A = this chain, B = another copy of it.
Amino acid sequence: MAEEVMNNKQIILKHYVEGYPKESDMEFKNNNIKLNVQEGTNVVVLKNLYLSCDPYMRSRMSKLEGCYVQSFTPGSPITGCGVAKVLKSGDSNFQEGVVVILVVEKIGMFHLRWRMDYHDSPQLVSKNGVGQFAKMLGCCVVGSAGNKQKVDMLKTKFGFDEAFNYKEEHDLDATLKRYFPDGIDIYFENVGGKMLDAVLVNMKLHGRIAVCGMISQYNLDKTEGVHNLFCLIAKRIRMEGFLVFDYYHLYPKYLEMIIPQIKAGNIVYVEDIAEGFENAPSALVGLFSGLNVGKQVVMISCE
């Protein structure tokens, strides 16, 4: 069989990053990959169609030890989630031409590199706004975002009861008291730092905090201290961290629930699509200054 070779573009992390990541922390590299695969192996060659830009990728740009994700390797391609098409397959579970969605695996390994070659068995994943699920369950939902466009979108597009621009609020404690005069039952934590401190003093007795992320802290050399943890005692608050890895077994059930809701227009999503592989570094970097409006995606190709 003649050897098929293809040009392959990669985005390389040049070095470990300190502080806010910059486009110049990454560089493009060209190489050639062989497309031939052997029948009966689990080797699959994928063409990336869409890349996902996610905040957790910031921590992988640092030197990590004993973390739930592994550091990117300086000099090697950045990896992440995305959508890809099977170009060549030695695995009968993945037929050529099929589109697959690639997700983070249990610990450390990611299924998709930010390049075109790929050799593993992909799974499916999706993203969505928990605020909408809370509305579906009958909660009164208040959102926080960093500019007017996003605040408006939370209220008009996503149906939140209220939303505010945290960048315009100089006393977050007062802000929360304004929106939650009776206190907060449930806080979905994705921010950390000052916001968490303000939330803690505004929680209700026996309130619950689901800890998903702390984006305000990812680019700091030293994280901000959280000062109001005594509220956990005074208000008997439960605070618990989680990772999506632990719940993948529920994914089929989740799809069963969510797909009809999306089709019915009850759950909506907004994507911020950067076009072209060459725009991936700026899209990723933009996450950390809040440039994206909605889920940040990079479109490489529609097919």
Task: Give A residues with C-beta under 8 Å from B.
Answer: 67-68, 192, 196, 211-214, 217, 222-243, 246
Contacts and interface: CB of A to CB of B under 8 A. Distances in A.
Contacts of A239: 232, 238-240
Which of A192, A241, A242 counts the most B-chain CB atoms under 10 A from its CB?
Answer: A241
Among all A-B residue pairs, the 4 with the closest Cβ atoms = A225-B225, A232-B241, A233-B241, A238-B240
A240 B229 contact: no
12 contacts: A68-B235, A192-B229, A214-B230, A223-B227, A223-B230, A224-B225, A226-B227, A232-B241, A234-B243, A236-B241, A236-B242, A239-B239
How many copies of this chain does one complex carry? Answer: 2
B246 A233 contact: no
Contacts of A235: 68, 241
A232 B240 contact: yes
A202 to B, nearest CB: 10
Contact of A214 (B68, B213, B225, B233): B233
Nearest to A242: B236
Contact of A241 (B212, B222, B237): B237
Contacts of A67: 234
